[in-house]
């Protein structure tokens, strides 16, 4: 049960814990069927830190062999708006050369981060690159990223153009632990502080 304090600042819930579990199971089933057709195990690359819950829930439901690694990409300045210039700040340990890679994201909005990661993984020699995102926010897309080598785009939910938190997604490192996805009240991230 989530405390009242943890829920503070949430305007409304978009997807409940039960709805999330059902949708993640559906996406995992689709992903597993596609990975099963590959000649060798895929490499699933989670984008830290926002995708950690989705990544964990997803890979636990994929019943085929796969490798898992994390990459960290920074693109947010003030916490609500992307700088538009993402950069890899912690790289993979797993060698992806000649392998099928599935990038697991919490949310794809502008497409800048995914585009940056696809280019990064291509340089590392990935054979194919797919993207699996928990939330897709096409209303904010500014970059038309291209998947590689027959890669596929998987998505959990289409997200409205609102600032969302929960299920791994944060504002100023808070709200990640909410078991649902909710819209954050604008006053929570528009407060100005005097330092």
Q: Which residues are catalytic?
A: 109
- Nearest CA to 43 out of 117, 114, 127 is that of 127
Cα→Cα distances 124→46, 116, 129, Å: 16, 13, 11
Please check whether residue 168 is in contact with residue 20, taking contact to mean a CB–CB distance below 8 angstroms: no
Q: How far apart are CA 119 and CA 188, in angstroms?
A: 35
Among residues 58, 151, 146, the alpha carbon closest in space to that of 106 is found at 58
How far is residue 61's CA from residue 29's CA, in Å, rounded to a whole number? 7
Please state, in angstroms and rounded to a whole number, the distance separating the CA atoms of residues 192 and 73: 26
């Amino acid at each position: 049960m989530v405390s009242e304090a943890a829920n503070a600042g949430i305007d409304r819930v978009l997807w409940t814990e039960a709805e999330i579990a059902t949708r993640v199971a559906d996406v995992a089933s689709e992903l597993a069927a596609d990975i099963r057709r590959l000649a060798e195990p895929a490499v699933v690359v989670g984008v830290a830190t926002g995708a950690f819950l989705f990544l964990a829930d997803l890979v636990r439901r994929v019943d085929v062999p796969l490798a898992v690694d994390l990459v960290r990409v920074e693109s947010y300045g003030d916490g609500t708006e992307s700088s538009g210039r993402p950069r890899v700040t912690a790289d993979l340990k797993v060698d992806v050369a000649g392998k099928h890679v599935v990038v697991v994201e919490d949310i794809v909005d502008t497409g800048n981060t995914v585009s940056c990661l696809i280019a990064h993984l291509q340089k590392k020699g990935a054979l194919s690159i797919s993207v699996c995102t928990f939330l897709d926010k096409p209303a904010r897309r500014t970059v038309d990223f291209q998947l590689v080598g027959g890669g596929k785009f998987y998505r959990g939910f289409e997200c409205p153009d609102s600032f969302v938190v929960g299920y791994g997604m944060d504002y100023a490192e808070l709200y990640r632990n909410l078991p649902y996805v909710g819209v954050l009240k604008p006053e929570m991230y528009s407060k100005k502080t005097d330092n």
